[in-house]
Amino acid sequence: MVMVIATKYLYEKGSAESKQPRGIVPNRVGEAVREHSLTIFLLVTGAVWLALFMHMDAQGKWGQVVGNIVSEWTQVLGLVLLTKRLIETGSKDSR
């Protein structure tokens, strides 16, 4: 559910699925943050999940749940980064 909301409202430069943001950000840092807001969101929230996992018993019930979340978060981040960078010959969605 979080991923659906994040991909709907956050923008990722180079993604064919992202909606173009409105307006212009007056500075370069703000523009860079806006262009990569999905990646930044995934990195920050992934770091929080990882920190939580490091303070839990990995063999306990909740440790396993949070471990699975960390794993899935890493996979989603990888998919976002790979779909921005990889090219498929003949695909209309590739850069």
Q: What is the pLDDT of residue 74?
A: 92
Q: Report the C-alpha gap between 13 and 15 in whole angstroms.
A: 6
| Average pLDDT per consecutive 10 residues, the chain (95 residues; last block may be shorter) | 69 65 76 82 92 92 93 89 72 60
For residue 45, count other CB atoms closer than 10 A to its CB. 15
Query: Residue 83 has which token pair?
Result: 């779909």
Strand partners, 36: 12
CB-based contact 39:74 (threshold 8 Å): no
Q: How far is CA 12 from CA 38, 62, 91, in A?
A: 6, 32, 19
Q: What is the pLDDT of residue 53?
A: 93
- Tens of pLDDT, residue by residue over 44-68, are 999 999 999 999 998 999 999 999 9
